[in-house]
Each structure stands twice: as structure tokens, then as C-alpha cells.
Chains A and B, each alone.
Chain A
Amino acid sequence: MIEYRNIHKSFDLPVLTGVDMRVESGEMFALFGPSGTGKSVLLKTTIGLTIPDMGDVEVDGTSVFRGGKRALEAVRQKVGYVFQHSALFDSLNVFDNVVMGVPEDELARMPRMETAAKVWEALELVNLEPREILSKIPSELSGGMKKRVGIARAIVGRPEVLLWDEPTTGLDPINTAAVERLIQQLSKQLQVTSLLVTHDVEGGLLICDRVAMLDSGTLRFCGTPDEFRACPDPVVQAFVDRAAAEAALDMVSDVL
């Protein structure tokens, strides 16, 4: 379970102004909102990559900001983070990138063959052919492959929580649908709590148990996908309409 309590964060201007949100264990949760509303900032507070000006985050009862260094390390160990642009290490090949996802102390004890087997399994879980890509460096991979390697790195350490920061950004509709199916499949298969930050509203509504919407630094909506679609709030409705129009435009531009 992830609990955000009264999160405030400013970068010159206020971005988050008192966000309270709770993601239950085992659920798939999507966070929507216009660009610049602080979705990724909120996601990064979960593992202390961004430090809020006020407030705290708890992951399975462990405080991220009040528990000290050891608590933060423990939280990071149980959370897998999929970055928006994959954030693969340029100088390392796919094998070494994915190996980084195995906790350091576990890696030190593990025989080399076992490590290789773990990497192999993680790549297969994200529908990549390990034999073909293990020795490639990130610049030799397509955008969709990079995303999958990033996902493999996040799941290889068997996390209990997966955080997805706009994992379909920059992908064509076919790859977007494939990655969304993968997110759903992995979340169920690995029995993890998933928090998905996305611009793809339709995709998020389709695969998530609950959704929330951030607007102007605060939580505007939190509920089930059906409740979101039926929400009478004009701000939510305007966002849904705009997202649908943008999705249609994207589809047309892809066809053209």
C-alpha cells in the first residue's frame, strides 16, 4: 500500500499543494492530469527521488522521508520504477542494464549463472528474445525495445510495487497497446501494486482498478474508471474530452 499525505512541492512555482492519495495493495491505479500538474513529481516522491517541501509518503507502512536512510533503502528495494524515457545506462549493454535491477547484496551472493537466468527470465517476461539483445547497447535498440528493457530492469529484482512513469510516451499506437497489455499482464503475474502515471486516459481506464486526476496541484478526482467517466465535474469532463480528441488526432496523424 502506498499512502501520500499532504504532499507539497514547489519549483519556483507551486506544483503540488497538499495531495492526499492512497493506493491499496495489489491494485492497479492510474494517475491522470494535464501536463505540468506534478504527476511525475508525485511519483518520484514515492522513492525519495524528489523530496517534498511538506508531507510524507508511506510504502507498506514504512515512511520514506521520516524513517532515515535505511528505511529509504528498504522502500527502494521493494519498488520497481519504470522511467518515462527508459533511462537505460548508455555505456552498459542490455545484460548489464538489467542486472542493475538485482539488489546489490543479493547480486554479491548470487552465482553468475543464477544472475544470468534471472536476467533471461525478466527479458522473456517482457516479450524480448534475450539471445538477440543481451549484448546490445541501448543506442542499438528501438524505442519499444528500450521501454521493455527498462521494464525488465524494474521487475528483475521481484518488486512488490511497480511505478510506471508515462511508459507509453513516444510509442506508436500498436506499441502503446502492447506495452499496456504488458503492464496489465505483469501486474497480475507478479502480484504487485501498480501506480501508473499516463497521458493515455483510455488505456489507463481500460487496465486499472482505480484512477485519480491531478489538477492545479491537488487531487481533483479519485475513484473507479466508471465513476471517472460519469463524473459530473466540468474540469474532469473537459480533460476526458480533450484526451479523447488528442487520441483521435494522434491516430489520424499516424495513419497519414
Chain B
Amino acid sequence: MNHQSSGALPPQNAIAQWFAGVGRVTHATLEHAGGLGILFAQIVVATVRLKVSFRSVLNQMYIMGIQSLPIVLVTGSLAGIVTSQQGGYQMTSAVPSYVLGSLVVETIVLEMGPVLTALVLVGRIGARITAELGTMVVSEQIDAFKSLGRDPVAILAAPRVLAGVMVLPLLVGIANLIGIMAGVQAANLTSGLGQESFFFGAQLFWHSFDLGYSATKAIVFGLAIPLISVHMGLKTKGGAEGVGLTTTQAVMFMTLTILILDAMFPPLLLN
């Protein structure tokens, strides 16, 4: 039988192709993981050796922090409003209404604040870093740094990663705060729950560890976003098309990473 003419592959070819595909994916994953590990080690070395410009870190903190503040405020407050409204809708007479306070605060602090802020930063900061560094690669600016004896990791990568680790916990803190405040207002307007009852409920189920949990998530996400975006940016190949393709891949990779890391937190820290 002529398999080529019928368009179907012989079974052994199909199996070989499947294994080849699995091999390619595994190879690419391991390559990325290795590359990320090496980049992280290089950043640590550059930081310990004081090769990183403090001014560059401050500049990146401004770009990541202050410039992201409006979108973080909007996202945080909408998360608070929606959680409060949907929580209020679920409440029945069997459950005291002040439980809504606990529901909103815990949902915002443990989940919505860190994850939504991180996802916003993937789009706003991660994509920007990948496109910026990718353009520098294809226009030979990274090669120019190396040819001049400068270390692109110390000059470009380290300030972005350090700024990410420092800025994201602050942004998450702000998102948590604004989300809770918006939640209080929404609970008052839609469910008629007063501020005192709301916070009474919130205190009933509050653990001080929750703040640490939220901050830990923020630090991990703050490390992951710039680290992945820098790594992908520096791996860019080709011209403008390559920059576009790498940026898209980086956004997908960062989003998935944030969601997977988020899923790993409860079994690791909440049990």
C-alpha cells in the first residue's frame, strides 16, 4: 500500500514522529530550564560582585512600579468589587452575612491580589522586556556590549530582575489593600453589609501567615516574570518577525509559569 499517496503515515512512522515530537519538547524545556538557571546564577554573581548599577535598578523600579500603578489599582479594585458582589450573591440566610468579609479578604490576599497583579505585569512588563532585549539582540546591540568588554547580564538583566523582586511585593500589597477597600464598599452597596461587620468577619478567619503567603507569592512571581522575559529576549533570533514571535512565546510561557507556580503554593505552604 502506498501510504504517501493516501496521505496517511505508516504506523511505525507516526510513532517515531510522536517520540521525535516529545523529544523536541523535552529538549526545548530542558534547554529553557538550564538557560534560566544559568542566567539566575549570573545575576546573583553580578549582584554579589556589585557590578549592577543602583541607578539602573531604580530606573527599572520606576518603570515597573510607578508606571504600573494605575493598571494595578484598577485591577485590584475590580477584583475586590467582583469578589464582594459574587460572594454576597452566594450568601444564604444560613450563613451569617459577616462571613462575606472573610471571603473577600482571604480571596484577595491569598489569590486575586498576587495572581492578577502578576498577570498584569506579564503583559505590561514581561512583554516589554522581551521585545526590548530581543530588538537589542537583532540589532547587534548585545554583541556591541560584549565587544566593548561590558557584561549584558550585569547591565541589562540584573537591574530588571532585582527591580521585579522588589517592586512586585509592593504592588501586590497595594492591590490587596485597594481590593479590600473596594470589596468593603461593594459589600455595603450591594449586600447592605456595614464596614464593622465586614471587618469583624474578616478577623474571624484571618491568619497573620496569610500576609506572608501573599508576599512570598509576590516575590516568586516578581522573580519569574523578569527572569523569563530577559532569558527569552536574549535568545531572540531573526529580525522583526523573530522579536514578535519570541515576545508572544514569552507571554505564553510567563502566563503558564505564573499559573503553575500559583497551583504549587497551596500544597507547599497551606498544608
**What is the interface of chain A, defined by CB distance below 8 A to chain B?**
44, 47-49, 73, 76-77, 79, 81, 83-85, 87-90, 100-101, 103-104, 153, 157
Contacts and interface: CB of A to CB of B under 8 A. Distances in A.
B149 interface: yes
Contacts, number: 46
A25 B270 CA distance: 68
B139 A85 contact: yes
Interface of B: 136, 139-141, 143-150
A100 B143 contact: no
Residue of B136, B141, B143, B149 with highest tally of chain A CB at under 10 A:
B149
Nearest to A150: B144
Nearest to B51: A104
Given A76-B148, A90-B141, A153-B144, 16 more contacts: A48-B146, A49-B143, A76-B146, A81-B144, A81-B147, A83-B144, A84-B140, A87-B141, A87-B143, A88-B144, A100-B144, A100-B148, A100-B150, A104-B150, A153-B148, A157-B148
A104 B149 contact: yes
A79 B144 CA distance: 12
B139 A87 contact: yes
Contacts of B143: 44, 49, 83, 87
Contact of A47 (B140, B147, B150): B147
Does more than half of chain B's interface fall in helix, strand or loop, or is it mixed?
helix
Secondary structure at the A interface, as helix, strand, loop or mixed, is: loop
Nearest to B144: A87
Given A83-B144, A87-B144, A89-B144, A76 B149 contact: yes
B146 A101 contact: no
A68 to B, nearest CB: 15
Contact of A89 (B141, B146, B147, B149): B141
A87 B140 contact: yes
A156 to B, nearest CB: 10
B140 A79 contact: no
A244 B152 CA distance: 41
Nearest to B140: A87
A211 to B, nearest CB: 24
A83 B140 contact: yes
A90 B140 CA distance: 11
8 contacts: A49-B146, A73-B149, A79-B147, A81-B147, A89-B141, A100-B144, A101-B148, A104-B150
Contacts of A101: 148
Contacts of B141: 87-90
A101 B148 CA distance: 6
A153 B150 CA distance: 13
The 5 A-B residue pairs whose C-beta atoms are closest, nearest first, are A87-B140, A87-B144, A81-B147, A76-B149, A83-B140
A47 B148 CA distance: 10
Nearest to A40: B140
A89 B141 CA distance: 6
A223 to B, nearest CB: 29
Nearest to A90: B141
Contacts of A90: 136, 139, 141
Contacts of A83: 140, 143-144, 147
B83 to A, nearest CB: 40
Contacts of A48: 146
A87 B150 CA distance: 14
Nearest to A83: B140
A85 B147 CA distance: 15
B154 to A, nearest CB: 10
A104 B51 CA distance: 11
B140 A103 contact: no
A103 B145 CA distance: 11
A162 B143 CA distance: 15
